[in-house]
Amino acid sequence: MRSEPIARHLDDVTAIPCPCGFSTRIITAADGAAVGFHVTDIGDAQPHFHRRGTEIYFVLEGAGRLITDGVAHDVAPGTVAYIPPGCVHNGQGRFRAAIALLPAFDPEDEFPAADENSRPEMPPIIRALADVPPIRSACGSSTRVLTRADGVAMGLHVVHITEAECHYHTRTTEIYHILEGYGTLRVGEEQYTLLPGLTVYVPAGLPHGGKGDFRSIVICAPPFDPEDQVVICAAPTRVVSHQR
């Protein structure tokens, strides 16, 4: 499994057609990543499911409905959906979603709804970011939308970082996707200049910490565990710019 960080901007990856609409596949299995990350423009998507893959949707813009196992949910910016393996799902309307995938997307693990003959191990979870109160954390402010308490395979937080303590996780892989603001994110020996649309993959074991004033989605696989976070002192870094 990959042990080096990745930093890629949404605009630097070409969108491709997919059953949901058009998908910009920023972090993929080809990277050796434990977790994948796409930004997908969803139209009237075809109902489908994954036998092995778990997905988290975070709606970035637009509006529509997400159908999960035949139940329709209205979605808007800030809607979060946890879709376990075996859950038939599809989007309707016109909306853009950040999608985390565990394991990273495998086209051989995508099946039409007609092939489904079993029930998912747990029901999907649909939540609105606005309904979850933020808490103080080592990163600043964290809105923990999906957590270990939900029994999920991946967690999702939205963090507002001004100056985060440098730390690492012994088991947890994280993906940051910058929503707004600017700053820097140190990961191991690298320091990335942040701007909206940048995605940074942080493997387990790599020290990292952010500075500036920015909001980011953070995907945690497995979900965040405070016992898995180790705060450390700063170390020299190499600056990698993604300014436009």
Domain boundaries, the chain: 6-128, 130-240
pLDDT at 234 over 70: no
Q: How confident is the model at residue 169 (pLDDT cuts 50, 70, 90)?
A: very high
The span from the CA of 57 to the CA of 66, in Å, is: 10
* Mean confidence (pLDDT) of the chain: 93
pLDDT of 244 reads 57
pLDDT of 163 reads 87
- Per DSSP, the three-state class of 142 is strand
Joined tokens for residue 56: 């988290």
CATH class, range 130-240: mainly beta
Q: Which one-letter DSSP state was computed for residue 121?
A: S
Beta-bridge partners for 137: 140
Nearest to 80 by CA among 26, 19, 151, 158: 158
Joined tokens for residue 85: 């393996």
pLDDT of 236 reads 43
Radius of gyration of the chain (CA): 17
Residue 152 dihedral angles phi and psi, to the nearest 5°: -95, 160
> Domain 6-128, what architecture?
Sandwich (2.60)
Q: Do 6-128 and 130-240 have matching folds? A: yes
Q: Which one-letter DSSP state was computed for residue 60?
A: E
Please give the model's pTM, rounded to 2 decimal places: 0.93
